[in-house]
Amino acid sequence: MLRSLLFLPGNNPNLIMNGGILGADGIIFDLEDAVAPDEKDGARILVRNAMKALDYGSVNIIVRINSIDDNGYWKADLDEVIPLKPYMIMPTKVSDAGYIKQISAYIDEVEKRNNMKVGSTKLIPLLETAIGIENAYNIATSDARIEAMFIGAEDLTADLQCERTKAGNEIFYARARIVSAARAAGVEVIDTPFTDVNDDEGIVIDAKYAKSLGFSGKASISPRHVNAINTVFSPTQDEVDYAYEVLEAIEQAKAQGKGAISLYGKMIDAPIVMRAERVIASAKAIGIAK
């Protein structure tokens, strides 16, 4: 369940220590943009020690590694954190399938070196360039490690040579494209952070919009936005109630030997059943199921 993903700077002991209690379904220890070049080593060693020592309970740990264009930091990042079995690794500035293959091949090596099952480390590629967006489907299907896709609008709008706005019209295509690619590949898809940390209404609007496009969750750079994101990406009580009614109706139809049935005058077809099952699964995950 990844409704909310919270970025935490990888070299900040205070935030890393408290990352588990900020309400996010997942936390992203950032070894990339949030860490100065001369502190890359300190951050990855700190993150590794924290992951080893601290109990994050049910919070999923993701580590954002440096881009393969940057000084080989990415390999050192993987060397340090893979043995601690993070929930996922987030490769950055992913441009194409070859990029993922290169990362995945190196993770194979690290997994072997540490007597881990090869393929056990999962990936959530960050697409934040125009070429990455154009190759979204190829990337999403490039490797069995990929479990989710993530769009980063800050770098992307710079690459698109447009201004990043709160309304986000400039990234509509990219968002729709990555959702379509991810859904076609059968993986989850996470939306870019809303960066005005003081706009408590803006985050709700932006998260609702992302949900309407098909995103399964949203990242945040501020703990203040986590609750709003969780609320938006949780099924409402009405949705949960309806989902149970759908499944009940299906059961009854089966018992009565009926093929097609309707609920509130609407045909219950396979997509509606699938949606109901998804709603109940996420309701169970967040503890609001019956």
Partner 1 sequence: MSKLINSINEAIKQSGLKSGMTISFHHHLRNGDFVMNAVVDEIAKLGIKDITINASSFFDAHAPIIEHIKNGVVSGLECSYMSGRIGVAVSSGILDKPVIFRSHGGRPADIISGKSHIDVAFVAAPTADKMGNCSGKYGPSACGALGYAFADAMHADHVVVITDNLVPYPLSDFSINETYIDAVVKVDKIGDPAGIVSGTTKITRDPVGLVMADYAAQTIKHSGLLKDGFSFQTGAGGASLAAANYLKDIMLAEKIKGSYGMGGITKYMVDMLVAGCFHTLIDVQCFDLDAVNSLRTNPGHREVTASHYASPIAKSAAVDNLDVVILGATEIDLDFNVNVHTDSSGVIMGGSGGHNDTAAGSKIAMIIAPLVRARLPLISDKVLCVTTPGKTVDILVTQRGIAVNPNRPELLANLKGTGLPIMDMRDLQKLALGITGTPKPITRGKKVVAEVIYRDGTKIDEIMQVI
Partner 2 sequence: MEIKAKSFAGTLESSDVFVEVSPNSGRKINLESVVLAQFGDDITRVVNEVLDSFKVDNIAITLKDRGALECTIRARVETAIRRQEGK
Residue 12 as a binder of partner 2 (CB under 8 A): the answer is yes
201 binds, among partner 1, partner 2, none (CB under 5 to 8 A by kind): none
Residue 15 as a binder of partner 1 (CB under 8 A): the answer is yes
Residue count at the site for partner 1 (CB under 8 A)?
13
Q: Tell me which stretch binds partner 1 (CB under 8 A): 17-25, 30-38, 100-108, 232-240.
A: 17-25
Residue 18 as a binder of partner 1 (CB under 8 A): the answer is yes
46 binds, among partner 1, partner 2, none (CB under 5 to 8 A by kind): partner 2
Q: Give 52-85 as a 3 state SS string.
A: HHCCCCCCEEEEECCCCCCCCHHHHHHHHHHHHC
Q: Tell me which stretch binds partner 2 (CB under 8 A): 46-54, 195-203, 250-258, 279-287.
A: 46-54
Considering the complex, what minimum distance in angstroms separates the CB of residue 46 from partner 2? 4
Separation of alpha carbons 171 and 156, rounded Å = 8
Q: Is residue 21 exposed (0-12), middle (13-18) or buried (19+ Cβ within 10 Å)?
A: exposed
Q: Which is nearer to partner 2, 13 or 186 (CB)?
A: 13
Residue 53 as a binder of partner 2 (CB under 8 A): the answer is yes
Binding track over 53-92 against partner 1, x by CB under 8 A: -xx-------------------------------------
Which pairing describes strands 266-267 and 262-263: parallel, antiparallel, or unpaired? antiparallel
Nearest to 99 by CA among 76, 65, 59, 54: 65
Separation of alpha carbons 256 and 251, rounded Å = 9
Is residue 135 within a helix (H) or strand (E), and if so which, with residue range?
Answer: none
Separation of alpha carbons 76 and 97, rounded Å = 22
User: Which parts of 225-244 interact with partner 1 (CB under 8 A)?
Assistant: 227
Residue 281 as a binder of partner 1 (CB under 8 A): the answer is no
Residue 224 as a binder of partner 1 (CB under 8 A): the answer is yes
Angle among Cα 45, 50, 51 to the nearest 5 degrees reads 100
Q: Tell me which stretch binds partner 2 (CB under 8 A): 40-48, 124-132, 153-161, 190-198.
A: 40-48
Q: Tell me which stretch binds partner 2 (CB under 8 A): 12-20, 25-33, 206-214, 247-255.
A: 12-20
Residue 17 as a binder of partner 1 (CB under 8 A): the answer is yes
Q: Which is nearer to partner 1, 50 or 146 (CB)?
A: 50
Binds partner 2 (CB under 8 A): choice among 9, 20, 23, 54: 54
What sign results for the dihedral spanned by CA atoms 166, 172, 174, 178? positive
Separation of alpha carbons 285 and 123, rounded Å = 21
Separation of alpha carbons 84 and 165, rounded Å = 38
Separation of alpha carbons 31 and 11, rounded Å = 8
CA atoms within 13 A on the CB side of 134: 6
Q: Residues in the site for partner 1, rule: CB under 8 A?
A: 15, 17-18, 21-23, 54-55, 222-224, 227, 287
Q: Residues in the site for partner 2, rule: CB under 8 A?
A: 12-14, 17, 41-42, 45-46, 48-50, 52-54
